[in-house]
Chains A and B, each alone.
Chain A
Amino acid sequence: MVALRFLREGRMQTALILAGISAGVAVSIFLAALIAGLQSSIIVRTLGTQAHVVMRPPEERTRTVLEPSGAAARTVQTRAQRLRSIDQWQAMIPLIEAVPGVVAVSPMASGPAFAVRGDASKSVALLGVDTARFLRIVRMADYMVQGRFALQGTDAVIGLDLAKDLGLALGDKLRIRSAEDRDEVVTVTGIFDVGARDLNRRWVFIAIKLAQNLLDLAGGVSNIDIRVDRLFEAEAIARRIEGRTGALAESWMQTNAQLLAALSNQTLTNRLIRGFVVLIVALGIASVLVVSVVQKSREIGILRAMGASRRAILGVFLLQGAILGALGAGLGALGGLALARAFARVFRNPDGTVLFRPEVTVELVAGTAAVALAVGVLAAAIPARRAASLDPVEAIRHG
Chain B
Amino acid sequence: MADTPVLRLAQVRKSYNLGTPIEVEVLHGIDLTLARGEFAALIGPSGSGKSTLLNIVGLLERPTSGVVELDGQTVHGDDEASVTALRGRSLGFVFQFHHLIPAFTAVENVMMPRIIGAGRADAAMRAEALALLERMGLREHAHKPPRALSGGQQQRVAIARALVRRPPLVLADEPTGNLDTKSADEAFALMREFNRNQAVAFLLVTHDPRLASRCDRVIELLDGRVVSA
Contacts and interface: CB of A to CB of B under 8 A. Distances in A.
A312 B116 contact: yes
Interface string A265-299: 00000000000000000000000000000000011
Interface string B105-126: 0000000110111000100000
Contacts of B115: 1
Nearest to B115: A1
Interface stretch (A2-10, A68-76, A172-180, A322-330): A2-10
A392 B84 CA distance: 11
A308 B58 CA distance: 14
Interface string B73-95: 00000001100110111000101
A306 B102 contact: no
Nearest to B52: A393
B101 interface: yes
B1 interface: no
Contacts of B116: 303, 306-308, 312
Contacts of B103: 2, 5-6, 8-9, 299
B193 to A, nearest CB: 22
Given A306-B93, A393-B55, A9 B113 contact: no
Task: Give the residue among B81, B87, B89 with the most A Cβ atoms within 10 A.
Answer: B87
A392 B56 CA distance: 12
Contact of A306 (B55, B80, B112, B121): B112
Contacts of A99: none
A39 to B, nearest CB: 48
Contact of A309 (B81, B89, B112): B81
B10 interface: no
A302 interface: yes
Contact of B89 (A5, A6, A8, A307): A307
Contact of A5 (B61, B87, B104, B117): B104
Interface residues of B, number: 25
B99 interface: yes
A312 B80 CA distance: 13
Interface residues of A, number: 21
Contact of A303 (B61, B80, B89, B112): B112
A196 interface: no
A304 interface: yes
B84 A309 contact: yes
B60 interface: yes
B84 A308 contact: yes
A330 B61 CA distance: 44
Contacts of B101: 5, 299, 302-303
A364 interface: no
Contacts of A2: 103
Contacts, number: 56
Contacts of A303: 101, 112, 116
B168 to A, nearest CB: 14
A309 B103 CA distance: 20
A301 to B, nearest CB: 8
A305 B121 contact: no
A2 B108 CA distance: 10
A217 interface: no
B142 to A, nearest CB: 16
A296 to B, nearest CB: 9
B111 to A, nearest CB: 10
A306 B60 contact: no
A307 B88 contact: yes
Contacts of B55: 393
B60 A307 contact: no
A305 B104 contact: no
Contacts of B99: 298, 302, 396
A303 B104 CA distance: 12
A310 interface: yes
Given A393-B55, A396-B99, A307 B117 contact: yes
Given A302-B99, A392-B60, A307 B113 contact: yes
A306 B113 contact: yes
B90 to A, nearest CB: 9
Nearest to A9: B103
Contact of A305 (B85, B87, B102, B117): B87
B126 to A, nearest CB: 12
B121 A1 contact: yes
B48 to A, nearest CB: 17
Nearest to A397: B51
7 contacts: A299-B101, A302-B99, A305-B58, A305-B60, A305-B93, A306-B116, A307-B87
Complex A-B, nearest 9 residue pairs according to Cβ-Cβ distance, in ascending order? A307-B88, A5-B103, A9-B103, A306-B113, A393-B60, A308-B116, A309-B84, A302-B99, A299-B101
Given A2-B103, A303-B101, A308-B116, 12 more contacts: A1-B115, A5-B101, A298-B99, A299-B102, A303-B112, A303-B116, A305-B93, A306-B116, A312-B116, A393-B60, A393-B61, A396-B95
